[in-house]
Amino acid sequence: MPDFDVTLLLDTGTLSVRDVRCRGECRHRSSEECAAATHLVFPYRGVYVRHVGSDESVADANHVLFFNQGQAYQVSHPVDGGDACLSLALPEALLQELAPPALLQRGAPGLSEQSLRIDPRAQALVALLRHGLAGGLLEPLEAEGLLLTLVCRSLGPRTTRAAASTRQRRRLVDRAKLLLASDLTRRWTLADIAAELGGSPVYLTQAFAQVEGVPLYRYQLRLRLAQALDRLPRADDLTSLALELGFSSHSHFASAFRQTYGRSPSEFQRALGAH
């Protein structure tokens, strides 16, 4: 039985989009796979690690990952729960037109980075596209326009790129991201995280800010809010949802959501046609 389910949401001949859900039964590295075309993959639930040779990338809702055409990779799931992603296949000609030259690989198709951090508006676009396409609420032309906006927002100058950092720091930060993802509702302290990882709270804070460009709390908050984006269409009680996601109250959740996405949770529900 396959470890994942794939649902085709859109295929216009120019762009194709799939909802990919993996049960995450492979704790260690999977067998090697290879993409037939370059994909931009936007995780929206759960977490996994993608391995390309000796390089690793933690895949969570704060990032877009690049699966290059012809590039071998493996996947592992060190955190229980599986994952789900919106996967967008891009023809090489379109990628060449949309991507900044500095991100394009030389002499090979695809992109030179493994992943980039996306901003909250890109996260919201992922949710709007996924729910809109799954519910038949988007016309193909509208969906293509939103997808191109998502690509440009994810690859363009608004994307935060990590400053130069050592491999040791990046590995420490990856371990911290996996720890946060293992229990999004927990109210972590720096001392808790540092104790789990075996390091100094000060060093961890500095390393995380350098690699990810945001503090640990802000990173965890965005992961919680990304879960809200996923669950809002099915949520009848926003207070219960807020508490389940680790917020202290509905007002705390609504304030953080509005500050991040520019609208309230109920307004976002209405935009999705959920209520």
Residue 259 has a CB neighbour count (10 Å cut-off) of 11
- Strands of 153-256 (E only): list them: none
Give me the pLDDT at residue 2, please.
61
pLDDT of residue 273: 74
* Residue of 177, 154, 161, 153 lying closest to 210 (CA atoms): 161
Number of domains in the chain: 2
Specify the pTM: 0.80
Positions of the chain with pLDDT under 50: 1, 158, 160
Strand ranges, E, within the chain: 4-11, 16-22, 33-34, 38-46, 48-52, 55-59, 63-67, 72-76, 83-90, 115-117
Q: What's at 70, amino acid-wise?
A: G
Q: Is residue 191 part of a domain?
A: yes
35-60 burial: b if 16+ Cβ within 10 Å, else e:
bebbbbbbbbbbbbbbbeeeebbbbb
In this structure, are 113 and 177 located in the same domain? no
Q: Does residue 134 lie in a domain region?
A: no
Residue 114's domain spans which residues?
Answer: 4-118
Q: What is the pLDDT of residue 51?
A: 95
Residue that is last in its domain, among 100, 118, 136: 118
Does 18 map to a domain?
yes
